[in-house]
Amino acid sequence: MATVLFIVKATIRTDQEEAFNRWYNEEHVPQFLRWPGAVSARRYRALEGEDRYQYMAVYELQDEANYRRLMASEHMRALRAEYDARFGAASARARFAYTQVWP
């Protein structure tokens, strides 16, 4: 089965950036990885390009069915609620999902 990449991009206010990175790395990603079917999680910071977002988190899930269960789950609602409570007003965010088409 094809894996799914769930991508979240964000730009955070400078005054919140240190707290954002600490929370994301130490709390948010480990919480995400508790989901059955989560394969991996990686974070990136933009170096250059035309994207308006400075950070990107790439989460890999086993397959599309697992991704759909995650999106409808209380686990995901809790993750989003915590993000919004901590950084919602200090950030801009976008979400994307891709399924593998080759190889």
User: What pLDDT is stored for residue 23 in this prediction?
Assistant: 98
User: What pLDDT is stored for residue 27 in this prediction?
Assistant: 98
What residue segments make up the domains of the chain, in order of their start?
4-99
User: What pLDDT is stored for residue 15 in this prediction?
Assistant: 97
Q: Is the pLDDT of residue 1 over 80?
A: no
| Neighbour-count burial of 36, counting CB atoms closer than 10 A to its CB (0-12 exposed, 13-18 middle, 19+ buried) | exposed
**Reported pTM:** 0.94
Domain 4-99 fold: Alpha-Beta Plaits (3.30.70)
Alpha helices in the chain (DSSP H): 17-23, 29-33, 64-71, 74-87
**pLDDT band, residue 3 (cuts 50/70/90):** very high
Give the tens place of pLDDT for each residue, 24-78. Answer: 999 999 999 999 999 999 999 999 999 999 999 999 999 999 999 999 999 999 9
User: What pLDDT is stored for residue 53 in this prediction?
Assistant: 97
Task: Identify the sign of the CA torsion 22, 23, 26, 28.
Answer: negative
